[in-house]
Amino acid sequence: MRFSFFLIGCFLLPFQVLALDSYADLVEELMPSVVNISTEKEVIDVKESNIENVMLDPMLQGREALGSGFFIRSNGYILTNYHVIDGAKKITVVTNDNKTFAASVVGIDKPSDLAVLKIDNKINNKEPSLSFKSIIFGDAEKVRIGDKILAFGNPYGLGVSVTSGIISAKSRNIGLGEQQYLQTDAAINRGNSGGPMFNLNGEVIGVNAAIFTMHGASGVGFSLPSNIANWISSQIIETGKVRRGWLGLEVAYGFDKYTDKSGFVITSIDEESSAYKEGLRVGEIIISYNDKPADDVSDFQRFTETMEPGQTLRLKTLSYGEEIRNVIKIQEMPERELKNITNKALNESSKYYHEGNNDDVVYISELKIAVKEASPRGLTIVKIESHSPLQEKGISVGDIILEADRSEVYSAENLLESIQYAVFDDYRPLTLFIQSVNNTFYSTIELEKEND
């Protein structure tokens, strides 16, 4: 990826001179920047037919989602994932020293699944103000496959934890729009969403965003590169929203039959765009942009999106073999285009939090669902029939059953045992503890009596 961002100079910390037989000094230095985030959502009347993910545990006072975040400004600005705070009526932040703060939403960016929060850093609304330990953004462009990293987060609501691993791959397209992600083997679990990924210089190089797990595997984690996170969060803090650049055309790989040069063929162009008004047309070949070779469509799309509206883009194109130099003014992405990329990201996102193959799938007839074992515990729902009692409670494919009647679930046998106890007890309701993409909640399921 190619971006115009703030490049942070080399920031050497005292612990870097020590042998890396332990990360303890580095973790101690970084831990104060990481926070736990919990949210409460509106409780729906349990008599309503359109119940969705209602938290029925009276101790929790509403639905609750757990996630992570980190300070990006010392005066209380926090970066996290949008899905962590989506739909929240109340957001609570707990710092590493166990101080609790109410947080407000500064702004969100759905296409990147990022949100910026703010906690009050004033003491009784007076000076002096509290100062929080903010992170330093590193340059994800310089990350190499094999580099060691540390991932921080709040797995399963246990509290801030740290895991280590390496960068397994770069520029992974996992279906969340056009974003490219860093892949790691460091353990990233539910609740780690929004947590930072650090390099060994103590710089954030990614925001933990998604996991992909399979039966018997520990999972693969994905983090949004720091360059994108820095660009988006800075805009949100400064203006409350993200302005994306728009060129007004779509491209695909192609070559010019007159010169045999390869590049991006223009497949469609908006007649309201500056590109059209400057004379570009469908069928022309872009062979370079701002002196960069036209060899990666995704890089080109991200490059133009991250340009400031009003800036100019230099294009070198071929039209019937003739080379033409163009200067195009970047426009702000129209609302209709922003909605398109947002919907694409949201529609594709959920399957990357937990997936598996079709091995070891068990059908639970009493609940009319098919499940398979999740890691490290629980059962992933891989299919729900239309007349399943879980469907009306807002439970969906991909959600994980963690507990049944307050007993942890590790296998289908555990779940079936709890169901049988409920059946023997005159078909009393079964309480399930569910983990979905956005939150963790209790749901009470009415078991259907035989021959009813």
List the chain pLDDT tens, one digit each, 452 residues. Answer: 333 333 333 344 444 444 467 889 999 999 999 999 988 765 433 333 332 332 223 333 344 557 899 999 999 999 999 888 887 888 999 998 889 999 999 999 988 889 999 998 776 666 657 789 999 999 998 999 999 999 998 776 677 788 889 998 887 766 555 567 888 888 777 667 889 999 999 999 999 887 765 443 456 788 889 998 999 999 999 988 888 889 999 888 888 888 888 899 998 899 999 999 999 999 999 999 999 999 888 788 888 888 888 999 999 999 988 999 999 999 988 877 776 665 555 444 433 433 334 457 888 888 989 898 887 788 999 888 878 899 888 898 888 999 998 888 988 888 988 898 888 888 889 999 998 876 788 888 988 875 44
Is the four-CA dihedral 329, 333, 335, 339 of positive or negative sign? positive
Token pair belonging to 388? 């399943």
Do 22-129 and 245-332 share a fold?
A: no
Which residues are CB-contacts of 425 (< 8 A; sequence separation ≥ 6)? none
Dihedral angle of Cα 394, 396, 400, 405, to the nearest 10 degrees: 40
Token pair belonging to 218? 């520990």
Point out the residues that are catalytic.
83, 113, 193
Indicate the CATH number of 362-445 among 3.40.50.300, 2.30.42.10, 3.10.20.30, 2.40.128.20. Answer: 2.30.42.10
- Which CATH number is associated with domain 245-332? 2.30.42.10
Give the CA angle between residues 179, 183, 188 to the nearest 5°: 110
Q: Is 350 helix (H, G, I), strand (E, B) or coil?
A: helix
**φ/ψ (deg, to 5) at 107:** 180, 160
CATH superfamily of 140-239: Trypsin-like serine proteases (2.40.10.10)
* Whether the Cβ atoms of residue 208 and residue 197 lie closer than 8 Å to each other: yes
DSSP 137: B
Residue 398 pLDDT: 86
User: What fold characterizes domain 22-129?
Assistant: Thrombin, subunit H (2.40.10)
Sequence spans of domains, the chain: 22-129, 140-239, 245-332, 362-445
Q: Taking the CB of residue 112, how many other CB atoms lie within 10 A of it? A: 24
The DSSP H or E segment spanning 253 is strand 249-255
Beta bridge partners of 383: 370
Q: How many CA atoms within 13 Å lie on the side-chain side of 406?
A: 2
